[in-house]
Amino acid sequence: MNKIKNKEQVYLTGICAKTIVDGKYWILTDGRERIGEISLDDKEYRMNLGDEILKFKTIETIKERTNIEFQELPNGYDPDKINDGYIDNVHSYGTDAKPFNGVWSLTQQAPIFTKENNSKSWFAAGWYVINQNNIWRQEFCPKLIAIQRYDYRGPFKEKEKAREVLDIIKGERLFRK
């Protein structure tokens, strides 16, 4: 990464901003490692890069004054798309309530969210097939702790896809007995 500063410009080369929460949070990478972040705090955007914190009024200002490459959300991402009857979603996976704090869990490889802004109870967005007490079942937006504790398949964007996987798993169990 090369960094050259003057009063108007901060030239950053080789840095990519990956969208985590649309319009609110990005992770900055050098192509291999996380090196910083951009977040919307109240009325301004804060760029944390190493030991420096740079403040900007708009995301357009960041784009104009830096050479950071902003990655767009994946094709087909539509936050207003109705998914199994629910308008709200996290990373295009449906939710059963308005999502707050929606993020992608790297540990679980799943979209997670809270149902209230200050809640400590996390849920996984989308459809899952979960094995609890040797019983496989299909569940929409389970608590995060369920997919941390039990074997599961998912996330799935559609109920039908989760049902197909559940049928395959149940079919395999019949043949193993």
Handedness of CA 139, 141, 144, 148 (dihedral sign): positive
Q: Is the pLDDT of residue 119 over 70?
A: yes
Maximum average pLDDT range among 15-29, 39-53, 78-92, 162-176 = 39-53
**Which pLDDT score is estimated for 138?**
95
Burial of 110 (0-12, 13-18, 19+ CB in 10 A): buried
CB atoms within 10 A of CB 158: 14
Share of the chain above pLDDT 70, in %: 79
Confidence category of residue 82, pLDDT binned at 50, 70, 90: very low
**Which pLDDT score is estimated for 89?**
86
* Bigger pLDDT: 2 vs 154: 154
**Which pLDDT score is estimated for 1?**
44
Q: Is the pLDDT of residue 168 over 70?
A: yes
Host H or E run for residue 149: helix 144-149
**Which pLDDT score is estimated for 152?**
96
**Which pLDDT score is estimated for 12?**
62
Cβ atoms of residues 16 and 68 within 8 Å? yes
Sheet holding 151-156, edge to edge: 135-140, 127-132, 151-156
Q: Are strands 2-5 and 151-156 parallel, antiparallel or unpaired?
A: unpaired
Q: Is the pLDDT of residue 43 over 60?
A: yes
Cβ atoms of residues 87 and 78 within 8 Å? no
**Which pLDDT score is estimated for 166?**
93
**Which pLDDT score is estimated for 157?**
92
HEC secondary structure over 40-90: EECCEEEEEECCEEEEECCHHHHHHHCCCEEECCCCCCCCCCCECCECCEE
Averaged pLDDT of the chain: 81
Lowest model confidence (mean pLDDT) among 81-90, 97-106, 159-168: 81-90
* Bigger pLDDT: 169 vs 86: 169
As a 3-state breakdown, the chain gives helix, strand, coil percent values, each rounded to 5, of 20, 45, 35
